Amino acid sequence: MRIHELKSLLDAAYERHARPDFSADDPIQVPRSFSARADAEVIGFLTATIAWGQRKTIITNAWKLVQLMDEAPHDFVMNASPTELRRLEGFVHRTFNSDDLLHFVKGLRHVYVTFGGLEDAFLEDGHTGPMDQAIHRFKQRFFEPRHQQRTQKHVADPAKGSNAKRINMYLRWMVRPNDRGVDLGLWKRIKPADLMVPLDVHTGRVGRELGLLRRTQDDWKAVEELTATLRRFDPVDPVKYDIALFGMGVEAGKRNPAGRT
C-alpha cells in the first residue's frame, strides 16, 4: 500500500473513531468527568496507572478511587491528613495495592509542591526534549519521596527499554486537543508533536499488518519506529492515529475482551 493510500486509510479510521462516544467504554471517561484541570490530571494519572487488565475492572476501580478521594482528587492529594489517607487501605487493582496508592498520593503532592504541577515535572527549563528523557525525568522526580522499591514498577521508564504504554496514553489524554470529544487538551507546553504512540499488542499488531512497524518487540524502539512512521502522515499530531489503529483493531475483531492491556 502506498503512502497516500495508508494516510487515507488512517484518516478515515480516525474520523470514524475520534468521537465523543469513544469514551463511553474507555477509561478516559473518568478524567473527562472533571471540569477542573487539576482534578482531571490527578485522576487521569491514577486511572492510566491502573489501565491494564479487563477494561470494565479498570473503569470500576478508577471510579472507586474517585469516591475514596471524596470526588475531589487534587484537593485530596494536596490536603489529606494521615487519618484521611487511611481510607485508601484495602484498595487493590491487580498488583497495584494500597501501599502503592499511598505513595502515588505522596508522589503527586511532591511534584505539585516541588515542581509546580504534573506537566511541569516532565519539563526541564520549560522544555520537553526527547520524550523518553522527559518520562525518565518525571519518574525520578515522582519517586524522590521515600517509598517502597516495588512501587517503582508502576511507572515505566523508557531508559530501561519499556514501551511506557500507560504513561504515553496519559500524555495523549492530557496533551492532544479536545476538539473531537476524546482527549482533554489540558496541557499546552508539551505539544502533540512531542507525543509518542501508546504501543500495546493491538496497535502493534495492526501497525505491523499495515507495514507501519517492522520491529517485532513491543519495546521503546518499536514506539520510536511507529511514531516516526506516523509523523510522515501528520507531523503536528501523529498520535491521533493511535485512536485510528486501535479502532481498526476493534473493527477487525482482533482485540481481546480485556481491552487495552
- ∠ CA 206-211-217, rounded to 5°: 65
pLDDT of residue 118: 98
Q: Is 5 helix (H, G, I), strand (E, B) or coil?
A: helix
Question: CA 145 to CA 141: how far, in whole Å?
Answer: 8
pLDDT in tens, 143-200: 999 999 999 999 999 999 999 999 999 999 999 999 999 999 999 999 999 999 999 9
- E-assigned strand segments in 35-130: 92-93, 96-97
Question: CA 154 to CA 136: how far, in whole Å?
Answer: 13
- The crossing angle, in degrees rounded to 10, of helices 240-251 and 3-17 is 80
DSSP 240: H
250-253: long-range pairs with CB below 8 Å, 24+: 250/17, 251/13, 252/206
pLDDT of residue 221: 98
Q: Where are the domains of the chain?
A: 3-251
What is the rounded (10 degree) CA torsion for 151, 152, 154, 156?
A: 180
Question: CA 172 to CA 229: how far, in whole Å?
Answer: 17
pLDDT of residue 258: 47
pLDDT of residue 9: 96
pLDDT of residue 20: 92
Question: CA 76 to CA 72: how far, in whole Å?
Answer: 6
pLDDT beneath 70: ranges in the chain: 253-261
pLDDT of residue 260: 53
